[in-house]
Amino acid sequence: MVLVPAAYATGLIRMRTIRSRAVDLVQTGQLSETGHDRWDGAVKTVLGDRTARLVWPGSQRTTDRDARGRAMSSVGDADAPLVYIEHDAALLDNPQLLRSVSASLRIMIDNERLTAELRHSLREVSRSRLRIVQAADEARRRAERDLHDGSQQQLFSVALRLRMASDAARADGQVVLADGLETTIDQLASAIKELRELARGLHPALLAEGGLVPAIAELGRRCTVVTKVTVELRERPGQLIEATVYYVVSECLANVTKYSGASSCEVVVSDDPDGGIRVVVADDGVGGADPARGSGLRGLADRVDAVGGTMRVESPVGAGTVVAIHLPG
C-alpha cells in the first residue's frame, strides 16, 4: 500500500528541489537518456511509489498498465501526451499530487525542448559566421589574384610602352614630350605600388606561398615599432586558421602603431600544449585598450570567435597591452 498522505507533505518540497536539479541538468547539457532515468528516480521519490516509472511515447519500454493495481497518467495533451507515468493505482485517490508531478514534468520537458532548440540555433549561428569568414577569405584571395594577374600586369605593360615612347621622344629631341611621359610613368609607378600594397593587404602572396613564418616576419619588419617575431609551429595550419593568425597579428600590430605609444613589441605564434595554436602580441605602451570601446578589437574578437577561438586582452593603464588568442589547430 502506498502511503500517499505521508509522501504528499514532503513530496511537493522534494519535487521543487528535484525539478530545480533537473532544470540545471537541462541547462548544462547533461540531460539525455541518463537524465530521463534520473527523472524516473524523482517521480518515484515524489510519489512515494518505488514502482513508478515514466513511459515515453515510441520508447521500447513495456507497460503493465493492465496489471492489477497499476494505473497510467498522461502528461500533456490527451491526444498527444508528452510522457506517461505508470504508477500504483492507489495514487488515483490523490489527483492533486499527480497533477503537481505532471505539471513539473511538463515544465522540465518544455525546458529540455527549448534548450535543444536554442543549442541548435546557436550551432547554426556559429556555422553561419564561419561560412561568412570563409567566404570573405576566399573573396580576398580571389581579388588578390585578379589584381596581381590582371590589373597589375596591364599597368606594367602600359608603363613599358610609355617608357619606350619617352625614349623615342627624347631621341627625336622632343624633350618636353619626353619629360611629360616621364612624369606620367612616375605616377603610374606610384599607382602600381599602391595597387600592390592593396593586393598584399587582401591576401598576401607571401602568406599563400610561404606560410606564416615569412608572412609574420614581414609584418614585423613593416611595423614602425621595433618588433620581435617568433613563429614556431610543428606543421602548417589549415588555410582558414592560417589566414586568421595573419589577420590577428596584422590588426594587433596596426593597433600598436596607432595607439600604444610603445617603444617595442613582441609577437609569438606557437603550438599550444593543450592543442591548437596560441598567438600572443605584447607591447610596452600606455595600455588602457578596451575591446568594448574599440571597433578594431571587437572585430578581432568576432573573427576569432567565428573560427572557434578565444581571445583575452590584458591592458592595465601605463603597463602595456597583451593580446592572447587561442585558435583551433
The pLDDT tens digits of the residues spanning 71-112 come to 888 888 877 888 888 898 888 888 888 888 888 888 888 888
Q: What is the predicted pLDDT for the residue at 1?
A: 46
Taken in order 234, 298, 224, 201, the sign of the CA dihedral is positive
Residue 228 has pLDDT above 90, yes or no: yes
Burial 176-207 (b: 16+ CB within 10 A, else e): eebeebbeebeebeeebeeeeeebbebbbebb
Mean pLDDT, rounded, for 141-167: 75
Q: Are the C-beta atoms of residues 48 and 2 closer than 8 Å to each other?
A: yes
How far separated are the first and last CA of the chain, in Å rounded?
61
How distant is the alpha carbon of residue 129 from its chain centre? 8
pLDDT band at 28 (very low <50, low <70, confident <90, very high): very low
Which residue has better confidence, 286 or 8?
Answer: 286
Residue 116 has pLDDT above 60, yes or no: yes
The label of the residue with cell 548544462 reads 28
Classify domain 210-327 at the CATH class level: alpha beta
Burial 69-93 (b: 16+ CB within 10 A, else e): eeeebbbbeeeebbbbbbbbeebee
Mean pLDDT (the chain) is 79
Mean pLDDT, rounded, for 177-181: 85
Q: The sheet that has 226-232: what strands, in order across it?
A: 226-232, 264-271, 277-283, 321-327, 310-314
Name which of 44-58, 169-183, 190-204, 305-319 the model is least confident about: 190-204
pLDDT band at 61 (very low <50, low <70, confident <90, very high): low
Beta bridge partners of 70: 88
Is there a shared CATH topology between the 4-126 domain and the 210-327 domain? no
Q: What is the percent of the chain with per-residue pLDDT over 70, rounded to a whole number?
A: 75
Domain extents for the chain? 4-126, 137-202, 210-327
CA 210 – CA 215 distance, rounded (Å): 7
Here the cell at position 295 is: 571597433
Cα torsion through 218, 221, 224, 230, rounded to 10 = 90
Q: Are the C-beta atoms of residues 82 and 105 closer than 8 Å to each other?
A: yes
Say which CATH topology domain 4-126 has. Answer: Beta-Lactamase (3.30.450)
Residue 59 has pLDDT above 90, yes or no: no
Q: Are the C-beta atoms of residues 241 and 327 closer than 8 Å to each other?
A: yes
Q: What is the predicted pLDDT for the residue at 312?
A: 93
> For residue range 292-316, what is the model confidence (pLDDT) as tens digits?
776 678 878 888 888 888 999 999 9
Which burial class, exposed, middle or buried, applies to 130 when counting CB atoms under 10 A from its CB (0-12, 13-18, 19+)? Answer: middle
pTM of the predicted model as reported, rounded to 2 decimal places = 0.52
